[in-house]
Amino acid sequence: MHLVAARDERVDDVRADEAGASGYDRPHAPYRTASVFLSLEGVDGSGKTTQAGLLAEALRADGREVVATREPGGTRLGEEVRELLLEGVEMSAWAETTLFAAARAELAERVIAPALAAGNDVVCDRYIDSSLAYQGIARGLGLERVLELNLTVTNGLLPDRTFLVLVDPGVAFERTKRSDRIELEGEAFHRAVDEAYRSLAEMFPERITTVDGNRPAEEVAEEIRGRLRELS
């Protein structure tokens, strides 16, 4: 679809870092030339944190400057909000959603946007899709409303590409430490999050790439690197 769209446009109408730019219209691929914002998503126990680390390492091995960060957290305020969210008292679903959004606003403005502006890549362990899956869909607050809130607080800063690590939900649930407030929700919630992520991947196929996480970590990492290269 991108190729067709790009061919219909004049070459100079398409910036090299735009999603609509085809390989024919630019001298180098965006992955090679421009900073790229990548996020890793998945249910608890999916192995996405391991994959975020391996992806950042691979980009660095390619000579790229990478800022690796995580959510909730990644800033001083964000780490404090993380404590409240994961270790704190019970809270209403909207209180939870807005706290995640507050941590994300801080991370987007103080870490992600400046890093991209400085030409670094950013690899984020969880981002907006976590709120869409956990709060928007699984907690039933509404995808549209949670998306709107998050686009507002981040100034519309979305990843160039999101890798969603899919695993058998039963296996992932067994793997979770069940140590924080959200992990303690139980298996029905965990399965609802898994389904929510799968529907997000169908809704946003241009941005979200799914990978089969039911394999050794190095194999999954290899697939993610390959998918990223394909985008170049």
- Which residue in 9, 79, 80, 183 binds ligand TYD (CB under 6 A)? 183
Cα separation of 126 and 90, whole Å? Answer: 22
- Which residue in 31, 100, 163, 197 binds ligand TYD (CB under 6 A)? 100
If the CB atoms of residues 26 and 104 are measured against ligand TYD, the closer one turns out to be 104
Distances (CA, A) of 104 to 28, 41, 56, 69, 78: 32, 15, 20, 11, 7
If the CB atoms of residues 86 and 113 are measured against ligand TYD, the closer one turns out to be 86
If the CB atoms of residues 87 and 218 are measured against ligand TYD, the closer one turns out to be 87
Pick the piece of the chain touching ligand TYD (CB under 6 A) from 13-21, 29-37, 108-116, 176-184: 176-184
Site track for ligand TYD across 11-50, x = CB under 6 A: ---------------------------------x------
Minimal distance in Å, beta carbon 72 to ligand TYD? Answer: 5
Site track for ligand TYD across 43-82, x = CB under 6 A: -x-------------------------xxx----------
Residue nearest to ligand TYD (CB): 134
Question: Residue 159: which of 218, 196, 107 has the closest Cα?
Answer: 107
Q: What sign results for the dihedral spanned by CA atoms 8, 12, 17, 23?
A: positive
If the CB atoms of residues 44 and 121 are measured against ligand TYD, the closer one turns out to be 44
Cα separation of 212 and 210, whole Å? Answer: 7
Pull the structure tokens for residue 75.
């800033």
